[in-house]
């Protein structure tokens, strides 16, 4: 399923596989003057191509290599002959078929490998110039696109909530914090964050500060409980009550425990 919304010049495309009448997980892509940022998942590739139809489309940038961001790369490349760019570390990951967990295959599907090129430092459209920022943490090949005149920042999966309780098992919390601190230093008063789950934070810097404050406070709690020799799962239960159901559904790929363990590791 695909739906769209507009934020001035920006078209937000929300995509997700519908099963039993429910969309399992919404992923956003953004279209600005022929620049498409991310391409959703494989299950919605045909719908995205159809939606884009004859619309202006000059190039694609993937924020990182995860399967819910590159799913329509090949279809768009074949249909429109587009050039696709990503972080140099993402290039060899997108150019081949990567193994997926069972839940990933169900929710997003296998992206067909596509030929992408290393992105340069800036991306220009007719009216806008985007700085390509390295923002690792969620993935080591994660980039964000920042348009300084407009204050727009397309931040992919780097930041999705002010009080996120779960992490993927391969995320790096210190990397995430460092990347968010980098965004706080961007030379704009108003930073508008366009996230890959579709949430748009119009006062992005305040939202980032609140998230960093939340992580700091959480780290303090984890540290105190670890000091009393509680193990990570006991610490999780003390702070959050219990694990989320998503941890079971994803075989531990997404979990509260991952966040607690990362915060414990980050203290050492
Ligand atoms: Zn991701």
| CA 139 / ligand 1 centre spacing (Å) | 7
| CA 168 / ligand 1 centre spacing (Å) | 9
Tell me the CATH number at 41: 3.60.15.10
Structure letter (DSSP) for residue 242: S
pLDDT in tens, 175-232: 999 999 999 999 999 999 999 999 999 999 999 999 999 999 999 999 999 999 999 9
268 assigned to some structural domain: no
Compute the distance between CA of residue 105 and CA of residue 251 in angstroms, rounded to an integer.
13
pLDDT in tens, 44-95: 999 999 999 989 999 999 999 999 999 999 999 999 999 999 999 999 999 9
Compute the distance between CA of residue 192 and CA of residue 194 in angstroms, rounded to an integer.
7
The domain tally of the chain equals 1
Compute the distance between CA of residue 189 and CA of residue 109 in angstroms, rounded to an integer.
39
247 assigned to some structural domain: no
160 assigned to some structural domain: yes
| CA 54 / ligand 1 centre spacing (Å) | 28
Any bridge partners for residue 167, and if so which? 255
245 assigned to some structural domain: no
Q: Is the dihedral of CA 240, 241, 245, 250 positive or negative?
A: positive
67 assigned to some structural domain: yes
| CA 14 / ligand 1 centre spacing (Å) | 15
Question: 266 pLDDT exceeds 60?
Answer: no
| CA 55 / ligand 1 centre spacing (Å) | 26
Tokens of 123: 């991306």
pLDDT in tens, 127-144: 999 999 999 999 999 999
Q: What are phi and psi of 6, to 5 degrees?
A: -130, 135
Per-residue pLDDT at 264: 93
Which residues neighbour 191 within 8 Å (Cβ) at sequence distance 6 or greater? 151, 153, 183, 203, 204, 205, 208
| CA 66 / ligand 1 centre spacing (Å) | 5
Range of the domain at 166: 2-203
| CA 230 / ligand 1 centre spacing (Å) | 31
| CA 241 / ligand 1 centre spacing (Å) | 26
| CA 228 / ligand 1 centre spacing (Å) | 34
Helix axes 173-184, 256-267, angle to 10 degrees: 80
Per-residue pLDDT at 268: 42
| CA 216 / ligand 1 centre spacing (Å) | 23
| CA 225 / ligand 1 centre spacing (Å) | 30
22 assigned to some structural domain: yes
Compute the distance between CA of residue 112 and CA of residue 14 in angstroms, rounded to an integer.
20
Length of the chain counted residue by residue: 268
Compute the distance between CA of residue 268 and CA of residue 266 in angstroms, rounded to an integer.
6
């Amino acid at each position: 399923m695909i739906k769209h919304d507009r934020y001035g010049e920006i078209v937000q495309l929300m995509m997700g596989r519908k099963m039993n009448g429910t969309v399992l997980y919404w992923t956003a892509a953004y279209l600005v003057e022929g620049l498409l940022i991310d391409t959703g998942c494989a299950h919605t590739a045909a719908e995205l191509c159809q939606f884009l139809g004859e619309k202006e489309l000059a190039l694609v940038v993937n924020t990182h290599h995860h399967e819910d961001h590159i799913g329509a790369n090949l279809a768009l490349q074949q249909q429109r002959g587009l050039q696709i760019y990503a972080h140099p570390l993402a290039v060899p990951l997108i150019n081949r078929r990567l193994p997926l967990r069972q839940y990933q295959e169900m929710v997003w599907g296998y992206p067909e490998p596509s030929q992408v090129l290393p992105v340069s430092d800036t991306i220009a459209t007719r009216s806008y110039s985007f700085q390509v920022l390295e923002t690792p943490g969620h993935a080591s090949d994660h980039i964000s696109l920042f348009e300084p005149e407009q204050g727009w920042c397309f931040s992919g999966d780097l930041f999705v909530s002010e009080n996120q309780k779960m992490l993927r098992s391969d995320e790096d919390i210190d990397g995430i914090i460092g990347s968010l601190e980098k965004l706080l230093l961007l030379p704009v008063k108003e930073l508008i964050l366009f996230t890959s789950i579709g949430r748009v934070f119009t006062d992005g810097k305040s939202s980032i500060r609140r998230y960093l404050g939340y992580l700091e406070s959480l780290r303090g709690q984890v540290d105190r409980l670890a000091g009393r020799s509680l193990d990570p799962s006991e610490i999780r239960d003390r702070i959050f009550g219990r694990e989320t159901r998503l941890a079971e559904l994803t075989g531990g790929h997404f979990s509260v425990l991952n966040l607690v363990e990362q915060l414990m590791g980050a203290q050492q």
